[in-house]
Amino acid sequence: MKLWDKGFSTDKKIDHFTVGNDRELDLLLAKYDIIASKAHAKMLGKIGLLTLKETESLVQELDTIAKTIENGTFTIEDSFEDMHSKIEFLLTLRLGDAGKKIHTARSRNDQVLVAMHLYLKNELQEIKDQTKELFHLLLNLADKHKNVLLPGYTHLQVAMPSSFGLWFSAYAESLVDDLYFVDAAYKVADQNPLGSAAGYGSSFPVDRSFTTEELGFETLKYNVVAAQMGRGKVEKAAAFGMSSIAATLSKMAMDICLYMSQNFNFVSFPDELTTGSSIMPHKKNPDVFELVRGKCNKLQTVPNQLILIMNNLPSGYHRDLQLVKEVIVPAIQDLKACLEILTFSLKEIRVNENILDDPKYDYLFSVDTLNELVLSGMPFRDAYKKMGKEINDGSFTPKRDIKHTHEGSFGNLCLEQIRKKMEKIS
């Protein structure tokens, strides 16, 4: 069944090519089409296009279909183009003419739009919740290990003292920035496009304010052409937020891969969180973190994929827009999986508390030793030259009893202030 069926069939190759993997993806989106269809049916009843009995029967039957979606028995057979055609078929099969009326005053275009907006609102909120869970874990780890020093690097060269408190809380505060982007995407998604039909409105007196309130949107996407142009744009907004989180996770995963190596030996994990080699019995590989790194690097390409699909499309609907679904939906699942596995694994991280005992890290303290000379009255440039000479001739003695007290340094992590920044994100 096709919603645009006019009594003739298309070639099977055309069907296969144009439908693609929509049926599979629609199994994730079907619950949102049901939610939108219930609101649409109630609106049609409100404006007199459905009788009270028809409205009630449609809502009741949609609830029945929703239960099959929830329990995993809902299917979209090859004879149906997508979730919309399957759901309308079931309504018509069970309710007759009332089922045939559900598509009044709407198009598949705004059906897809509103389902995607509802889906993205839900998924972005779940991503925010998962990110906050990781954030709180990182802050707790920062507090637990705040007094354990580790080397800081610039250009991958030993630079200055850092700490696990700084390292963990750096990634925590970076996640706050990432959620600013996710919040912006959520705001874009939180606009009701239903009622825009094919992108040019309808001669039916639809009540779009009613469906906006019924569906829990903050506002209406008023201009019907703007609503249609939002297809792909809302997915792109979500992708930018997701790619920001992915960049943070990828960088942290890379740090962990380095820090787990024998050359660094800064952190370790229980054996059950690592993998082995088929021929080297000593290996404990960081496969989880390598895959997080790879998946998150892949996720950072998603905004560009969407841009390239949409960047030369004029206003109005084009079938190209179908492709954005197969880009954004798997990306969301991948990001959620990465957040989940990182949170699970980092709960078991073990830190090396004696890293800086190794003399190769003595030069970490050169800046702090230099600063002591400046505090005692020596001009900075003279102190810098004195320190450089001692390092070159091997007479440098590091001052290890250092104190960093300003906001955001390892002696003053400002963890509660960082926590409060996150609390402002809903």
Q: Is a pLDDT exceeding 60 seen at residue 417?
A: yes
Nearest-angstrom CA–CA distance, 243 and 373? 45
Give the distance between the most distant pair of CA atoms in the chain. 94
For the chain, list the domains and their CATH numbers. 12-100 (1.10.275.10), 108-356 (1.20.200.10)
At 159 the three-state DSSP class reads strand
For residues 90-111, average pLDDT: 95
**pTM of this structure:** 0.91
Cα separations (Å) of 232 from 52, 211, 312? 36, 22, 12
Residue among 224, 205, 131, 119 nearest 173 (CA):
131
* The pLDDT of residue 18: 44
**pLDDT, tens digit (0-9, with 9 covering 90-100), for 118-175:** 999 999 999 999 999 999 999 999 999 999 999 999 999 998 999 999 999 999 999 9
The DSSP secondary-structure symbol of 266 reads -
pLDDT band at 8 (very low <50, low <70, confident <90, very high): very low
What gap in Å lies between CA 59 and CA 77, rounded to an integer?
A: 23
What is the H or E stretch that residue 192 is in?
A: strand 191-192
Under 8 Å between Cβ of 109 and 194: no
What contacts 226, CB < 8 A, 6 or more positions away?
none
Say if CB 189 and CB 120 are below 8 A apart. yes
- Residue 365 DSSP SS3: helix
Residue 154 backbone phi and psi in degrees, to 5: -130, 140
pLDDT at 219 over 80: yes
pLDDT of residue 368: 86
How far does CA 348 lie from the centroid of its chain? 24
